[in-house]
Chains A and B, each alone.
Chain A
Amino acid sequence: MNPKATETELAADTNVTASRHVSRNEGLIFEKSASGKRGMEIPPLDVPAVDPATALGRDFLRDSIEGFPEVSEIEVIRHFTRISSWNYAIDLGMYPLGSCTMKYNPRVNEFVARLDGLGTEHPQQPAEASQGCLRILDDLQKCLLAITGMDAATLQPAAGAQGELTGLLMIRAYLESQGNPRKKVLIPDSAHGTNPASVVIAGYEVQNIKSNERGQIDTDHLREFVSGDVAALMLTNPSTLGVFEERIAEIAAILHQRGALVYMDGANMNALAGITRPGDFGVDVMHLNLHKTFSTPHGGGGPGAGPVMVKKILEPFLPVPVVVRKENGQYALDQNRPQAIGRVRAYCGNFGVLLRALAYTLAYGPGIRQATEDAVVNANYIRKHLEDSFDLPYNLPSMHEVVFSDARQKKHGVNTIDIAKRLIDYGFHPYTTAFPLIVPGAMMIEPTESESKEECDLFISAMRAIAEEAESNPELVKTAPHSTRVGRLDEVAAARKPILRWKP
């Protein structure tokens, strides 16, 4: 603290940082480091100490790590607590990121994931000493199958994108067993970017298909594309516009008639749980994002889990191992499955995430339908109150999310990103910008069931205020945010000359 700095000086130059307490200007942990400090001690060695140079040989030894942090426990606590305060979070308020389903992450799930006997268990310990873990996996599978109406499941994929790949590999293995793996997978232009990326890794070509003027799959157009070369259609339902594919049964029939399968991206399952089951409307394979619909915390980018559910015909191709219950009631991992696609991740998947998803499902039971209803009510309520202020490119019944565009604000030079950044000044996280790609200047809003009427009303008033600002004071919106520790960051400079690590 510079004692000479006065309030007047601070007021005169808001960029003066040296005179403020560091809590307002936290550096990197490496910049706090000083030789000889540490934040964790380990008990003294209770066996004879071995000299690493003798034990390993000099060629295998490393020097001390230059620049590695040396800080005390209190400094670690303060550093991470301070930087955490620069984040927005579900725990602070509504996080209306469309397609991301940012809902409340129950705290009891964190508690049970850390229990001694669950968080502590080794994935390769014998099955007889892992019955509790295996039962958790089996119980979760049963719940997910009940919710989706499918026949069999794997919990191994670590995230939605890996679930997509797993499902596609199973489709491929199934078609191969029928004599021809085929060449193409059809993907609507409204799909998530992971869909085409996963198709390529599964060894298929991507065939993009255009949505019709209603943002839905055009069945006539689809019929033209479904040849004997097509392995599957990958669709998201409800679509990324938040709209249910009304002709889903007809779509599935078109694929099935030509021997192709239907893959459903379950990213938007939050609109369907307890209302309808994909297994009933013609879906052959699907994944769920447990970090979306099933409330496991997103943690700033993960972890997730992407279980895959399939119909009976695909069961032999599930990745190994598969959790089974033997006649004596014991659970086991079945590794001996000759038609399996192999394995997509080590061990049984993100067990800690799967466990949290089970805790969430048990909390609701059949009442999960109420969560779905509330999510849809919230989205429609927000839509109703923002329709006058923002352009609605597809005027179709919304489910759990609504997609507006910036068409009206663009006339004043204000785009979706500007509006999103201005939302920050009103205390909300931005909605999803610029997605889906079929809506230029998209503003994709998904409130989830976790928001109260009061929180929805606050969001609506913020959005309406920004719509007014876009007309009366567009510059204010275009230069937002004005309330954060840093202003808009130069992403172009970051990519042109990347600085990807701290250096001494």
Chain B
Amino acid sequence: MRYLPKSPSERREMLEAIGAASVDQLFQSVPEKFRLREPLPLPGPLSEVEIIQYFQARAAENARGYTSFLGAGVYSHLRSVVTDALVQRGEFLTSYTPYQAEFAQGTLTAIFEFQTLMCQLTGQEVANASMYDGSTALTEAVLMAERLTSRHHVLIACSVHPEYRQVLATYAKNLGLTIEEIGYSSSGQVDRAALTPEKLAATAAVIVQSPNFFGVLEELPALAESAHAHGALLVTTITEAVSLGIVRPPAEADIVAMEGQALGVPPSFGGPYVGVIATREKFVRQMPGRLAGQTTDAAGRRGFVLTLATREQHIRREKATSNICTNEALYALVATIHLCLLGKEGLREMAAQNLSKARFALAELEKIPGVRRVFSGPTFNEFTLEFQRSVKLINAALLREKIVGPFALGTKYPELTKRALVCVTETIPRAEIERFAAAVRRILETPV
């Protein structure tokens, strides 16, 4: 087997040195009746080329070559080949969590840079590296708010990603944390009238997403002000981090839980991605996840170490801030390299292109009879439309034209049937936007 570096005679030699008559002798502590007699019924073994053929066949069964107008938490953006070339260096790819700092300065330096970039993007003072994804980052941020306020109730906008809310509910269920959902107004923003002083005074945090699941930006400064006036925290989640290239950062929020996928991580059918929590310096000891800090060696040279580990499970066990151990370090590195390449101007330009492309698509689609914009609030690269027909039927017809249609909101919001969330990033050429609009027009014109 090509991955195993021993010859049959070396195996014999090693067994002799151990003093074992056979390899079976090394497994004598496994009770006889539990030892497998037959080889496992597994497919393979496959050579390298057969493995490639298997996966190429699977790739052909997917939406390869389709144009997609799906966003809803996962975004396709341009990325440079440089990113993959660098993260595939064995020194990054095949190294462990940097507990032995002197032998892991590469990873630690990159983590420190990632933390800095995340602070710059979010307008927050500290950021961790990292959480599993946006959904678990949000859940951990909410648990953190509960610890900080000693309040055990939270208000969450139902315009937060539905799957994020599901994850929060799963975690909260056995922890005595209750969750109340807040509706949305005609702008698509959280219904501020529902955030009454009585409710705010009893809540650990107000939780919103911006841009929210309908694509609409929330008015974070005003939300922060009303939460703070009643001793509650503002927790903000971001699924489309490219928006931060032009959109005002959530500096007023107390905790930001971000999905970093849009920052150079491929969609990859849902993961791996990279979650981040960013917050105020004074809250850092209640923040879960790994942190790299700057220090020096005996000669005064700058170096980096994992720090404030007394928050973490390997030290504190059942008293830890979280059970997280393995995180998404390699994808934090992907985001770091991608943002360094893109740079200050590139990120801004990418964000501005998303805005322009989405506005162009909106205008094209709004021209179609039977298509109407739903929410009046400001949007970035996603917007909600109402169609005269079922989104499911429209999407089925689009799929036949190699177009992955917009996200059908009715599956998660029964009151929003016939509404769909359209996403347009810089990766979609104008001609494809026009082909999409023409297809939608044709589908809507076709008699049922």
- A3-36 CB contacts (< 8 Å) to partner B: 15, 26, 28-30, 36
Q: Are A123 and B3 in contact (CB under 8 A)?
A: no
Separation of A297 and B331 alpha carbons in the complex (Å): 12
- B377-435 CB contacts (< 8 Å) to partner A: 378, 380, 395-396, 399, 404, 407, 426, 429-430, 433
B448 within 8 A of A: no
Separation of A472 and B174 alpha carbons in the complex (Å): 57
A307 within 8 A of B: no
B342 within 8 A of A: yes
A124 within 8 A of B: yes
Q: Are B76 and A301 in contact (CB under 8 A)?
A: no
Q: Which residues of B sit under 8 angstroms from A280, Cβ to Cβ?
A: 34
Q: Are A302 and B247 in contact (CB under 8 A)?
A: no
In the assembled complex, the CB of A498 is this many whole angstroms from the nearest CB of chain B, namely 5
Size range of the interface on B?
Answer: 35 or more
A203 within 8 A of B: yes
Q: Are A488 and B102 in contact (CB under 8 A)?
A: yes
Q: Are B70 and A122 in contact (CB under 8 A)?
A: yes
Q: Are A359 and B344 in contact (CB under 8 A)?
A: no
Q: Which of B58, B70, B107 is in CB contact (< 8 Å) with A124?
A: B70
Q: From A48-56, A217-225, A408-416, A461-469, give the one contacting chain B.
A: A48-56
Chain B, residue nearest A64 (CB): B344
Q: Which of B46, B93, B308, B333 is in CB contact (< 8 Å) with A89?
A: B93
Q: Are A116 and B23 in contact (CB under 8 A)?
A: no
Q: Are B30 and A275 in contact (CB under 8 A)?
A: yes
Q: Are A495 and B307 in contact (CB under 8 A)?
A: yes
Q: Are A298 and B94 in contact (CB under 8 A)?
A: yes
A348 within 8 A of B: yes
Q: Are A346 and B100 in contact (CB under 8 A)?
A: no
A182 within 8 A of B: no
Separation of A112 and B54 alpha carbons in the complex (Å): 9
Q: Are B395 and A500 in contact (CB under 8 A)?
A: no
Q: Which of B55, B130, B294 is in CB contact (< 8 Å) with A118?
A: B55
Q: Which residues of B sit under 8 angstroms from A202, Cβ to Cβ?
A: 174
Q: Are B106 and A83 in contact (CB under 8 A)?
A: yes
Q: Which residues of A sit under 8 angstroms from B167, Cβ to Cβ?
A: 342-346
Q: Which of A132, A161, A249 is in CB contact (< 8 Å) with B31?
A: A249
Chain A, residue nearest B109 (CB): A83
In the assembled complex, the CB of B289 is this many whole angstroms from the nearest CB of chain A, namely 10
Q: Which residues of A sit under 8 angstroms from B249, Cβ to Cβ?
A: 62
Q: Which of B13, B35, B125, B329 is in CB contact (< 8 Å) with A275?
A: B35
Q: Are A126 and B404 in contact (CB under 8 A)?
A: yes
Query: Interface code A336-350, partner B: CB below 8 Å = 1, 0 otherwise?
Result: 000001111111111
Query: Interface code B326-349, partner A: CB below 8 Å = 1, 0 otherwise?
Result: 111111010001011111111111
Q: Are B34 and A276 in contact (CB under 8 A)?
A: yes
Query: Interface code B168-180, partner A: CB below 8 Å = 1, 0 otherwise?
Result: 0111011100000
Q: Are A42 and B350 in contact (CB under 8 A)?
A: yes
- B298-325 CB contacts (< 8 Å) to partner A: 298-305, 307-310, 312-318, 320, 322-325
Q: Which residues of B sit under 8 angstroms from A65, Cβ to Cβ?
A: 120-121, 344, 347
Q: Are A55 and B355 in contact (CB under 8 A)?
A: yes
Chain A, residue nearest B219 (CB): A59
Separation of A39 and B338 alpha carbons in the complex (Å): 9
Separation of A424 and B101 alpha carbons in the complex (Å): 11
Q: Which of B94, B164, B316, B320 is in CB contact (< 8 Å) with A105?
A: B94
Chain B, residue nearest A359 (CB): B51
Chain B, residue nearest A347 (CB): B270
Q: Which residues of B sit under 8 angstroms from A95, Cβ to Cβ?
A: 94-96
Separation of A49 and B348 alpha carbons in the complex (Å): 13
Q: Are A299 and B92 in contact (CB under 8 A)?
A: yes
Q: Are B61 and A481 in contact (CB under 8 A)?
A: no
Query: Interface code A439-478, partner B: CB below 8 Å = 1, 0 otherwise?
Result: 0000000000111110110000000000000000000000
Q: Which of B14, B15, B267, B296 is in CB contact (< 8 Å) with A493?
A: B296
Asked if A274 meets B284 with Cβ closer than 8 Å, knowing A47-B433, A365-B45, the reply is no
Q: From B110-118, B147-155, B223-231, give the one contacting chain A.
A: B110-118
B74 within 8 A of A: yes
A147 within 8 A of B: yes
Interface centre among A49, A111, A147, A380 (most CB of B within 10 A): A380
Separation of A350 and B341 alpha carbons in the complex (Å): 25
- A104-147 CB contacts (< 8 Å) to partner B: 104-106, 108, 110-126, 128-133, 135-136, 139, 143, 146-147
Separation of A281 and B36 alpha carbons in the complex (Å): 11
Separation of A158 and B378 alpha carbons in the complex (Å): 34
Separation of A89 and B96 alpha carbons in the complex (Å): 7
Chain A, residue nearest B322 (CB): A197
Q: Are B272 and A352 in contact (CB under 8 A)?
A: yes
Q: Which residues of A sit under 8 angstroms from B320, Cβ to Cβ?
A: 193, 197
Separation of A72 and B34 alpha carbons in the complex (Å): 60
Q: Are A371 and B4 in contact (CB under 8 A)?
A: yes
Q: Are A124 and B72 in contact (CB under 8 A)?
A: yes
In the assembled complex, the CB of B143 is this many whole angstroms from the nearest CB of chain A, namely 8
Separation of A453 and B395 alpha carbons in the complex (Å): 58
Can you list 17 A-B contacts with CB-CB less than 8 angstroms, sorted by A residue number?
A15-B300, A39-B346, A42-B350, A60-B247, A80-B337, A88-B91, A90-B90, A129-B66, A160-B325, A194-B323, A303-B330, A345-B271, A350-B270, A365-B46, A397-B28, A420-B100, A498-B284
Known pairs A42-B350, A84-B91, A371-B4. 13 more at Cβ < 8 A?
A29-B340, A68-B344, A121-B268, A131-B62, A132-B62, A274-B40, A362-B46, A370-B1, A397-B29, A435-B314, A450-B4, A487-B301, A502-B113
Q: Can you list the 8 inter-chain pairs with the closest CB atoms, starting with the nearest?
A: A365-B44, A299-B330, A203-B174, A117-B59, A91-B90, A347-B270, A301-B329, A117-B64
